[in-house]
Chain A
């Protein structure tokens, strides 16, 4: 099982995500620099980490989305590799068009850094298979631009197709319909603002995030 974590200048959750990938897969992920044009052959799982890529210049995730490595990520996603974008990674995935919509400045204008309650809306996806539908879990968020926005037709389609994977239990940042994480139409790309990689060990205070990574590994094993 091959995994990789993309590293942009300004990424700061890349190593945490690598630890989570290694704990779940048993193998150290490749750390792939943004200027690289290729990912390891037959890559199974790609993490687009949180942080402040390119200092959030222009728009959060805008520059990273146009970096050379993202073409390789898009190609791998097209081939069916799992792609997990967390926080800034979610912003990068929307900016690159791998996920619909956009992430705006939080409605109250504040940077929000705290634990938030989430509801698992779709427990059928590879990312959420280890959770129960309707289950309440708690992940930390740490973002300034997490206010998910899309037109009504897109939101209706996401809801109708079960592509809202995670929802905030209450309004956190102004997100349309309290959306915290969405899937692409094929179900192999997930973008989410909360940080599952920060709650995988008892020392973190919670292990709610661990099952996300375990579910991914099980999904990959089932495919093999």
Chain B
């Protein structure tokens, strides 16, 4: 069983990396990019039967810092 964890900065949190990417896109001539936010994708290869609670706990205890980040869990069969 696999799970993909998407970690993103919370709404109000400044994202200098996203800003730099935004500027670089503009530098390449791509207009019409309103904003860029960069995040992380963490792929977990899990033993079958790993509970949702455990995956959630992994996110809360390590994978995301919930002071500044949100996370979303996507389970892949």
Contacts and interface: CB of A to CB of B under 8 A. Distances in A.
Task: Determine the main DSSP class of A at the interface with B.
Answer: loop
B16 A107 contact: yes
Contact of B67 (A66, A107, A108, A150): A150
B73 interface: no
A149 B65 contact: no
A95 B65 contact: yes
Interface in A71-95: 94-95
13 contacts: A58-B62, A58-B63, A62-B62, A62-B65, A94-B67, A95-B65, A100-B67, A102-B65, A102-B68, A108-B16, A109-B16, A109-B19, A149-B13
Contact of A147 (B14, B17, B65): B14
A174 interface: yes
Contact of B16 (A58, A66, A95, A105): A105
Contacts of B67: 94, 100-102, 149-150
Contact of A104 (B14, B20, B63): B14
Nearest to A150: B67
Interface residue range, chain A: 10 to 19
A52 B62 CA distance: 18
Interface of B: 13-17, 19-20, 61-63, 65, 67-68
Contacts of B62: 58, 62, 66
Contacts of B20: 109
Interface in A106-145: 106-109
Contacts of A59: 65
Contacts of A150: 67
A149 B13 CA distance: 8
Given A66-B62, A107-B16, 18 more contacts: A58-B63, A59-B65, A62-B62, A62-B65, A66-B61, A100-B67, A102-B67, A102-B68, A104-B14, A105-B15, A105-B16, A105-B17, A106-B16, A109-B17, A149-B13, A149-B67, A149-B68, A150-B67
Nearest to B16: A109
A83 B22 CA distance: 40
A31 B13 CA distance: 36
Q: Which of B13, B14, B16 has the most CB of A within 10 A?
A: B16
B67 to A, nearest CB: 4
Nearest to A108: B16
Nearest to B66: A102
A47 B2 CA distance: 40
The 6 residue pairs across chains A and B that have the minimum distance between CB atoms: A109-B16, A102-B67, A102-B68, A105-B16, A109-B20, A102-B65
B8 to A, nearest CB: 13
Contact of A107 (B14, B61, B65, B68): B14
